Amino acid sequence: MTQWLSKSEQVAWRSWLDASRLLISELNRELMQAHGLSAADYEILVQLSENPDQRIRMSELADRTFSSRSRLSHQIDRMEKAGLVKREACSVDARGMWAVLTPRGLAKIVEAAPDHVAGVRKHLVDLLSAEDFTKLGQSCQTVVQHLDSSGQRSFPQE
């Protein structure tokens, strides 16, 4: 038998849904308006820029960005046309491909990051107390750890 959400659980659930959707939409709008980047473009650039050699296997990048292989491939096609990334064949696995950050892509993430962080602060971090923001992060980590079947997600330590 299904255990329905209580009234307070329903309010919390729907508030989280609305807040997460509105936040991503606003951050996407700001990135697009100021830098011509979608939130998906930005996430890929972040993943590549934070990797030591600024390259990631396409399959791993799909996992990290919660994208299907097909969707990521189309996204990389668009980003390649814009000169932000390039694909390279994997020398150890003929079927594998790398997504590689280009100098233009690196310049774009360096340019966009301060504005993106300002948006995250304005629309989320600064609205909550430090304690509430920490609790939010801990709660989200619990959910991610529960749902991440790969077990590869790690969280930065303070």
Per the domain annotation, does 155 fall within a domain? no
Per the domain annotation, does 53 fall within a domain? yes
Does the pLDDT value for residue 5 go beyond 90? yes
**Whole-number mean pLDDT of the chain?**
92
Q: Which domain holds residue 128?
A: 23-147
Per the domain annotation, does 158 fall within a domain? no
Residue of 44, 45, 24, 26 lying closest to 34 (CA atoms)? 26
Percent of the residues in the chain that have a pLDDT greater than 90, as a whole number = 80
pLDDT reported for residue 151: 65
Per the domain annotation, does 3 fall within a domain? no
pLDDT reported for residue 96: 83
Residue of 110, 101, 127, 107 lying closest to 47 (CA atoms)? 101
Counting the structural domains of the chain, the total is 1
Per the domain annotation, does 94 fall within a domain? yes
3-class SS of residue 87: strand
pLDDT reported for residue 153: 62
| Element (DSSP H or E) covering residue 88 | strand 85-89
Per the domain annotation, does 6 fall within a domain? no
Per the domain annotation, does 16 fall within a domain? no
Residue of 89, 102, 103 lying closest to 57 (CA atoms)? 89
Does the pLDDT value for residue 101 go beyond 70? yes
Condensed to tens digits (0 to 9), the pLDDT of residues 47-93 reads 999 998 999 999 999 988 988 999 999 999 999 999 999 999 987 77
pLDDT reported for residue 4: 95
Per the domain annotation, does 34 fall within a domain? yes
Whether pTM > 0.85 for this model: the answer is yes
pLDDT reported for residue 52: 87
CATH number of the domain to which 30 belongs: 1.10.10.10
Q: In which band, very low, low, confident or very high, does the pLDDT at 145 lie, cut at 50, 70 and 90?
A: confident
